[in-house]
Amino acid sequence: MVTGTPGPCVGNIAPIERLNFSGLCLHDGPLAIRQAIYASVFPAELSVAASWDRALSHQRGLYMAREFRGKGAHVALGPVVGPLGRSPFGGRNWEGFSPDAYLSGELVAQTVEGIQAAGVQATTKHYILNEQETQRNPSVNANGTTIEAISSNVDDKTMHETYLWPFANAVHAGTASIMCSYNRLNGSYGCQNSKTLNGLLKDELGFQGYVMSDWLGTHAGVASIEAGLDLDMPGGIFFFAGSPSYFGGNVTLAVNNGSLSSGRIDDMVLRIMTPYYFLNQDKDYPPIDGYTSKIGFFPAANYVDNFTLGPIVDVRQQAHTKLIRDLGAAGTVLLKNFNSSLPLRKPKNIGVFGNDAADFTQGQYSLAISSDTVLADGNYDIGTLAVGGGSGTGRFTYVVSPLDAIKARAQSYGALTQYITSNDFIAGGGIAALAPVPLDVCLVFLKSWASEGADRTTLVAEWNSTVVVEKVTAVCPNTIVVLHGAAPNVLLPWANNPNVTAILAAHMPGQETGNSLVDILWGDVDPSGRLPYTIAKNETDYAKNLVNSTALLETTDPNAWQADFVEGNLIDYKEFDAKNSSVAYEFGFGLSYTTFNISNIQITGAPANASRRPNPSAPTLPGGNVELWETLATVSVTVTNTGSVAGSTVPQLYLTFPAEADAPTRSLRGFDKVALNSGASGTVQFPLMRRDLSYWNVVTQDWTLPVGNIEVSVGFSSRDLPLTGNLAV
């Protein structure tokens, strides 16, 4: 029960026939049931964050989990809030939502609730401070010395206010499982750290589910169990590691020799089995899809023979396809729209340029599994980048490429579409190969690759992107640039080029990527996405927050890899606000095809009458002390669509705390997605919980309301906040 076994899924708990227990199937991942065919590939969490839409986040979790369930998977290995995004260079940032803890917390809660509404267990990961890929696992140097994994070293205040915050939302939402991370935490491995697992997660947050290891993230047996690890994955003998589990028979031996109590084993099993029964997975659960047995992580000969395998099931549904298309559009951010060049007005001669426009050319899957290659860069140079690579990817049944969708729309009204998808050819002057007809509009598609296993080396779109834009704009005065892939993208030297009339950050929209984009380009859908991160003017404007050097790669010191989180809570927009630095596009920014006004701020509630700290005698339920989740005040505003077309916007609320709190200049504490017809108005309410109004007091070791006035600011981005007020606490 506490040790994974070889089997048809990416992780397996073996059936126990005498107990009529059919076992558990665990599968990646955060945007698709990766190890399957005839399944959908949903937008990445990055796109969900850019939508700022709680309802779509919940619906995505529900629909995705229905596909997991249809394939017989009991446990979905997602959602992701670690990495949070401390470094803009993090290779797996796209798997998560946003470097803002509040935004990530709200969306992870909706995702967890959606997944578990389908009767599937959510596994929120990677807990915690898992903020870089470089040296995430131990390595062995040329002398045979084991060099330990990176140690993320953080203070208590930063831990609570930034990195633990979204995990608390996930626990409060009822996540069945938490996956601990590869890295070390203040010197101890994440799956062997009693402070974070027992102290913060199980005691302070009241987590009642089970902690599972990341694959091969366990480095001890009894020590890990006593530190709070409940389930070792993958267990058995992992085919590319060749080493047995630290659990398995070692657990039996430890109990029998008295070094581990049987009571702790009972607790582990209780935690593992509680979600199984709570979600009714013991009743008529679908068998494991037969296809998984053909591509499992283990050779078929090693499978235990008592898993029930069913037929290959097609779990795709039209409703899922529509959600993917809608969410892909909702997560697209319009950054520039000079002279209202968008939406397109049936241009007759369309040019499409760039390697991101085309269909895949090297297959539909960006994770290679073999004895010598675990993670690979997949199908890029040429091919649209709809999601990233690694274990968080999906196996596409199909993709609607931007080029195909644009050609289809153009053909519907008789327009001409010309295209070149080789960046090398464009950079070499190949645009001259097009027919000598003036182009009404040029659409340039750029991308930034990111994958598990490596951090990014640049924040500029790859494949000679700057030269591609220069070549196109030289012949096309109406050039629209579309960016897919990892975020943020910075160093856009062409952003102020007068011939670049519009810029769209389309992120990672999943299988309907082309259709989602065409809906925005031709104005079928108002662009309502907003940036869930900051785009700086220069790459060096960011604190890189990524540990890597030649000296470290050649070190003989086992503990040389140390990441000190000296910036504290000041990441992304909080960093730029603290330095009062100008940026290219601020956190929360995004344009629409209409305009909005915000007015009439009202603040109600009397938090000044509340105790400074939550009652320590109040119950601790999943999420922590129940009083932390009680609403103490409410802010309301009026939003009006002052433009000529229907559209959606995202009013945002930020708080500025008194000096006592030692808090960032401003912190997001409320948002809502609002759809309004032209001329219509609506009231938006932002409930503020005790947790939202408190800071972590390292002396009292508790959430504490500061004394004085909290400044409330409401607007349309972190730097567009026309409404202000004060909340006395």
Q: Which positions ≥6 away from 277 have C-beta within 8 Å? A: none
In this prediction, residues 296-313 reach a mean pLDDT of: 66
One-letter amino acid for residue 189 of the chain: Y
Q: Which residues pair with 638 in a beta bridge?
A: 599, 683
Measured distance CA(42)–CA(387) in Å, rounded: 9
β-pair type (177-180, 210-213): parallel
Position 376 scores a pLDDT of 46
Which pLDDT value is given to residue 497? 96
**Contact status, residue 6 vs residue 245, Cβ threshold 8 Å:** no
Q: How far apart are CA 416 and CA 227, in angstroms?
A: 64
pLDDT at 291: 75
Amino acid at 450: A
Over range 290-309, report the average pLDDT: 60
**Alpha-carbon gap, residue 510 to 43, rounded angstroms:** 4
Q: 84 — phi, psi (to 5°)? A: -80, -40
Coil/strand/helix, residue 556: coil
Give me the residue label for tokens 């980048």.
Answer: 385
Give the mean pLDDT of 721-729. Answer: 96
- The token pair that represents 164 in the structure block: 């633990």
Mean pLDDT, the chain, integer: 93
What average pLDDT score do residues 135-140 get? 95
pLDDT for 436 equals 80
Q: What angle do CA 657, 658, 663 make, to 5 degrees?
A: 50
Q: How far apart are the first and last CA of the chain?
A: 49
Reference 84, options 585, 644, 569, 580; nearest CA is: 569
Indicate if the pLDDT at residue 225 is higher than 80. Answer: yes
Residue 261: pLDDT above 70?
yes
* Cβ 704 vs Cβ 694: under 8 Å: yes
Report the C-alpha dihedral over residues 102, 103, 106, 112, rounded to 10 degrees: -120
Mind listing the pLDDT tens digit for each residue in 333-367? 999 999 999 999 999 999 999 999 999 988 888 87
How far apart are the C-alpha atoms of 552 and 563, rounded to whole Å? 12
The pTM is what? Answer: 0.96
| DSSP letter string, 494-558 | TTT-TTEEEEEEEE---TTHHHHHHHHHTTSS------SS-B-SSGGGS-------HHHHT---T
3-state helix, strand, coil in the chain (%, to 5): 25, 20, 50
Burial (CB < 10 A; 0-12, 13-18, 19+), residue 202, is buried
Angle in degrees, CA 650, 535, 423, rounded to 5: 115
Q: Which tokens is 422 given?
A: 């080789």
Cβ neighbours of residue 1 closer than 8 Å, sequence gap 6 or more:
13, 16, 268, 269, 272, 273
- Residue 371 is predicted with a pLDDT of 35
**Residue 444 confidence (pLDDT) above 60:** yes
Place of tokens 């000096």: 659
* 363-407 residue pLDDT tens: 888 875 433 334 444 457 899 999 999 999 999 999 999 999 999
CB 664 within 8 A of CB 578: yes
pLDDT of residue 373: 38
Average pLDDT over residues 554-573: 96
For residue 433, the model assigns a pLDDT of: 84
Instruction: Please list, in sequence order, all residues whose beta carbon lies within 8 angstroms of the beta carbon of residue 20, skipping any fewer than 6 positions away.
Output: none
Mean pLDDT of 673-696: 98
Q: Where are the alpha helices (DSSP H) in 507-632?
A: 513-521, 550-553, 573-579
Cα–Cα distance for residue pair 269/231, rounded to 1 Å: 9
Confidence at 305, pLDDT banded by 50, 70, 90: low
Rounded CA separation 232/215 (Å): 8
Radius of gyration of the chain (CA): 25
Structure confidence at residue 606 (pLDDT) = 82
Quote the CA–CA distance of 597 and 642 in Å, as a whole number.
Answer: 7
Instruction: Report the catalytic residues.
Output: 214
Res 533 pLDDT > 50: yes
Burial of 287 (0-12, 13-18, 19+ CB in 10 A): middle
pLDDT in the model for residue 378: 47
518-536 burial code (b ≥16 CB/10 A, e <16): bbbbbeebbbbbbbbbbbb
Confidence (pLDDT) at 245:
87
Half-sphere CA count of 606, side-chain side, radius 13 A:
1
CA distance linking residue 253 with residue 352, whole number of Å: 65
Q: What is the mean pLDDT of residues 157-166?
A: 98
DSSP for residue 705 = P
CA distances from 53 to 170, 195, 724 (A): 17, 34, 24
DSSP 93: G
